[in-house]
Structure 1
Amino acid sequence: MDKPVCLIDTGSDGKLCVQQAALQVLQQIQQPVVVVAVVGLYRTGKSFLMNRLAGKRTGFALSSNIKPKTEGIWMWCMPHPTKAGTTLVLLDTEGLEDVEKGDSKRDTYIFSLAVLLSSTLVYNSRGVIDNKAMEELQYVTELIEHIKVTPDEDADDCTAFAKFFPHFIWCLRDFTLELKLDGKDLTEDEYLEFALKLRPGTSKKVMMYNLPRECIRKFFPCRTCFTFPSPTTPEKRSILESLSPAELDPEFLEVTKRFCKFVFDRSEVKQLKGGHTVTGRVLGNLTKMYVDTISSGAVFCLENAVIAMAQIENEAATQEGLEVYQRGMEKLKSSFPLELEQVSSEHQRLSSMATQAFMARSFKDTDGKHLKALEVG
């Protein structure tokens, strides 16, 4: 792809919907995918970071005024820069708490979809990690209202999500503090852990203080922090995408380079519950499934998603195997008449090829039901 396309937008009924053009792009990607999504308040520079991950100055739209550019979720697919045979999928989400939209439910849906779709989730904010920053990350406390791991799980059990949720990166933009505590230097990760420290006590005030911190700690055991200084002078911020590297703050460029390297090196291939590798085609099917479920107001179950994906993929795998066999037999007909032994030999060869085609795409056909359907077909 030479530019991003809209993956999720608003339909005529006002609900989120998946765009067919983006699904068609994903259907063509047979490789495993690494999915990096960025979320955060509007007008905080999310799109700039994603363009840097894409190795471009422009791509995802940047806005130079108070009106946000990104609406819904936009997607950009490209060969992974460091993992051969893998596709990097970048997802840029619309800004949270947009004063023009004023739709907290939509914000929660966007955040939930970013979590579900990504293998690395980048949360972008400005300034420091204080109580206000935690309150702005309220969406993390609402995840269990929209997502479950198993149908019968305790809705209040946050720890079950940790195996399936993405690596969490908190990017602090325009950070101006010294990373010190009681005269001791802190790393960025140590600063994040200090900010996530829980307070003792059971009062309502303490519990409200601890709730978002506790959710982050339980949902995202793999978490990292990057602190970015201001990229340039205030008067040039509105033309950030047109600035050359020489016009950007050297420390900002160094942190950006370190951030990109970390994302490329540490972001894992997306997997479903049970360890099944997600390809672009599977990601497209998952996106449709997630959006339809969440937009309906239903709670999404990760275990049910695996079952549904297995059905979709195995039916498609059966069809692929049948097509391999049928194409081979059609070619064989042109050589008739043949000895029975030749026909039998070719039948065995094509049956083997059909099984191989099935196995290459099948997913958790544990009882062999779909393989049997192929053999019967």
Structure 2
Amino acid sequence: MQAPICLVENKNGELIVNQQALQILTSITKPVVVVAIVGLYRTGKSYLLNRLAGYNTGFSLGSTIESHTKGIWMWCVDHPTKPDYTLVLLDTEGLGDAKKGDSNNDSWIFALAILLSSTFVYNSMGTINYQALEHLYVTELTKLIKVKSSPNPDTEENSADFVGFLPDFVWTVRDFILDLELDGQSITSDAYLESSLELSKGKCPRDQMANLLRGCIKKFFPERKCFTFGFPMNNILLLKHLERVHDSDLDAKFRDQASNFCSYIFSNAKPKTLSGGIIINGNRLGMLVETYVKTISSGDIPCLENAVLTLAQIENSAAVQKATNHYVEQMGLKVDFPTETLQTLLNLHTNCEKEAISIFMKHSFKDSTQKFQKELAKILETKMKEFIHQNDEESTKRCQTLLNSLSETLKEAISQGAFCLPGGYNLYKKEREKILNDYDKAPRKGVKADEVLQRFLRSLAMTEESILKSDRALTEQEKALEAEQVKRKAAEKEQKFLEGQQKELQELMEAQQRTYEENIKQLERKMMEERVQIMRENERILNIKLKEQEKLLVDGFQKEAEKMAKEINDLQEKIKSAESDETPGIAKALDCLGTGMIFVLPGTGKLVGFGVKAMSYFIPKK
């Protein structure tokens, strides 16, 4: 993108997704690092984002008392240090504009910035004080966002649930002129933020409200970073048009501070990820934007769980299609019709199917009932049958054409009565054997070679019997012996043909078994990876909560520490349960998958089902 574009319009207090911007966003296939900035209007938010984009101009800065940015604006640029990611910058409408008249509008802009970003930047002026804390909507966070879809609207959600998906928090303090010192010692910007968030032991309502604000920030944003910025320059006239100022004209200290901020974001801002390690690309982010804005516009509270489920439905359908397309494309490239044996075709099918399942696993998530995986299995089964049918058709066509060509002389001789004379049967046999030998030597006849040959021989049976009976050079005994031999050979060929069919049926059953085993293996691997990811998330949150609780106890806030104990206990129980109870969730999923994987073998109408108990060795034993 050469310039920013409005992503979410704010018209008369109503939020509307800009379809042009959405189209740009959904076309991004790379994972996205999303940096959103929020703060009071006229505090220089847009300037910081322009620096991240690598330009002085881009997001509109404005130079008057009016709020210049309306809604949420987006700028997608190449990540300067991580080429596998796209950097998505979100500039939000300034909070606290008196002309809006509706504070709810500010709160929804804030909520959207939280929901969409992986790094959330709060921009304030002067110092970190009560007023700056007050304009962060953290106390309303549980009213603005739901993590889980609960049937009980009064159910209070655990802050640990929020921490699992909330973005990293960066506080930028502009026009900061104080010395970073505490108790006579120099401190860092981070230490300044933490000291500002320490709870007060005062009992007055203002102190209690300040403690509530500080506690919410620490509770919801356990990973925090702070940057302080001095004045960009002393020339007030130039300050009004900062986008026109060359870097060399900026205050050297401010230049370094801005550079440090950008370096931190480039190095530490994470890709947007949902709980369970679900990586968000531009397409997925676009779907989330639509879902959240639609929910807010309807008067409901955005629910992360519902949004993820909606996203999963769309993405899993797309994953099935991607996997199917890959299978069809690869089979089309690799299969050279007709294959000499069915097993050759099935081997190619197994390899392409394995790749297709892997693609589905990579792009799908939250397929808890394996609905989409079963759908893919059925589609691939249908596609396999189509390839088998095409292989049969190509083989039949080639063999029939070959036999028509080889038997042309024989059929002409028969029609002219060339064998209706003494010794004619032996002449006929000789001609027929030549046809069979030439047919046998012909390459690439495919899987229907025996079946087509059997039909050809059956078509000659009555003519052959007639020639044998009319040959006066043979005695009746010789004719009887010859007829018996013909029947025996026909029976042998028929038996060989039936054995071939039985072998193909067995090969199909084995292929279906491999299909089931591959689905089980890849599903189990995916579920184990997701389980490990969730355990890591819970352990990370637990460690943060334990440190926070310890700090509260040291500072003498016993009551607050006790409140946190329930969250800590819940997290410990989750981790303990996941560590000690490895198999039931996986076993349930495998059982669900197995129930849906019942196949019909092509050409037989025979149902083949696979139960999970037969595959129990896939589940790790203790």
Under a length normalisation based on structure 2, what TM-score does the superposition of the two structures give? 0.57
Q: CA deviation at 1:251?
A: 0.6
Q: Equivalent residue for 1:221?
A: 222
1:164 equivalent to 2:165? Answer yes
Post-superposition Cα deviations, 1:100-131, rounded to whole Å, max 9, x if no partner, equal 22321110000011011111111111111122
Moved more, 49-58 or 159-168: 159-168
1:212 equivalent to 2:210? Answer no
Q: CA deviation at 1:64?
A: 1.6
Q: Equivalent residue for 2:142?
A: 144
Q: Equivalent residue for 2:10?
A: 10
C-alpha distance in 2 between matches for 1:345 and 1:205:
74
Instruction: Check conservation: 1:146, 1:298, Cα contact below 8 A.
Output: no
SS in 2 for 1:77: strand
1:177 equivalent to 2:178? Answer yes
Q: CA deviation at 1:326?
A: 4.6
C-alpha distance in 2 between matches for 1:321 and 1:44:
49
SS in 1 for 2:356: helix
Q: CA deviation at 1:307?
A: 2.4
Which structure's residues are more often helix, by fraction? 2
Q: Equivalent residue for 1:236?
A: 238
The code of the aligned residue for 2:326 comes to V
SS in 2 for 1:57: coil
Instruction: Check conservation: 2:49, 2:89, Cα contact below 8 A.
Output: yes
Higher Cα Rg, which structure: 2
The code of the aligned residue for 2:141 comes to L
Q: Structure 2 matches for 1:20-169, cutoff 5 A?
A: 20-137=19-136, 139-152=137-150, 154-155=155-156, 157-169=158-170
SS in 1 for 2:49: helix
Post-superposition Cα deviations, 1:267-323, rounded to whole Å, max 9, x if no partner, equal 111110222111111111111111112232322222333322222211111122233
C-alpha distance in 1 between matches for 2:367 and 2:160:
29
Instruction: Check conservation: 1:158, 1:215, Cα contact below 8 A.
Output: no
Instruction: Check conservation: 1:121, 1:169, Cα contact below 8 A.
Output: yes
SS in 2 for 1:191: helix
C-alpha distance in 1 between matches for 2:299 and 2:204:
32
C-alpha distance in 2 between matches for 1:33 and 1:369:
28
Q: CA deviation at 1:338?
A: 6.3
Instruction: Check conservation: 2:319, 2:363, Cα contact below 8 A.
Output: yes
SS in 2 for 1:300: coil
SS in 1 for 2:366: coil
Instruction: Check conservation: 1:127, 1:174, Cα contact below 8 A.
Output: yes
Q: 2:247 aligns with which of 242, 245, 248?
A: 245
Q: CA deviation at 1:156?
A: 6.1
C-alpha distance in 2 between matches for 1:366 and 1:92:
36
CA RMSD in angstroms, aligned pairs only = 2.3
C-alpha distance in 2 between matches for 1:10 and 1:330:
50
Instruction: Check conservation: 2:13, 2:105, Cα contact below 8 A.
Output: no
**CA distance 1:178–1:201, shift in 2 (3 Å):** closer
Q: Equivalent residue for 2:523?
A: none
Q: CA deviation at 1:255?
A: 0.2
Q: CA deviation at 1:329?
A: 6.7
Which structure's residues are more often strand, by fraction? 1
C-alpha distance in 2 between matches for 1:97 and 1:336:
70
Q: CA deviation at 1:57?
A: 1.1
Under a length normalisation based on structure 1, what TM-score does the superposition of the two structures give? 0.91
Gap regions ≥5 residues in structure 2: 380-622
Q: Structure 2 matches for 1:261-272, cutoff 5 A?
A: 261-272=263-274
Q: CA deviation at 1:80?
A: 1.3
Q: Equivalent residue for 1:288?
A: 290
The code of the aligned residue for 1:150 comes to K
Q: CA deviation at 1:203?
A: 4.7
The code of the aligned residue for 1:292 comes to K
Instruction: Check conservation: 1:273, 1:302, Cα contact below 8 A.
Output: no
Q: CA deviation at 1:149?
A: 2.1
Q: CA deviation at 1:151?
A: 3.0
The code of the aligned residue for 2:276 comes to G
SS in 2 for 1:7: strand
Post-superposition Cα deviations, 1:210-252, rounded to whole Å, max 9, x if no partner, equal 1211111111111111110111221211110011112111110
**CA distance 1:331–1:158, shift in 2 (3 Å):** closer
Post-superposition Cα deviations, 1:152-194, rounded to whole Å, max 9, x if no partner, equal 4942643432222111111111111111223222211111111
**CA distance 1:260–1:321, shift in 2 (3 Å):** same
Q: CA deviation at 1:204?
A: 3.2
Q: CA deviation at 1:367?
A: 3.9
How many corresponding residue pairs? 374
C-alpha distance in 1 between matches for 2:299 and 2:172:
30
C-alpha distance in 2 between matches for 1:29 and 1:174:
36
**CA distance 1:178–1:332, shift in 2 (3 Å):** closer
Instruction: Check conservation: 1:146, 1:294, Cα contact below 8 A.
Output: no
C-alpha distance in 2 between matches for 1:156 and 1:336:
60
SS in 1 for 2:219: helix
Higher RCO (C-alpha under 8 Å, 6+ residues apart): 1
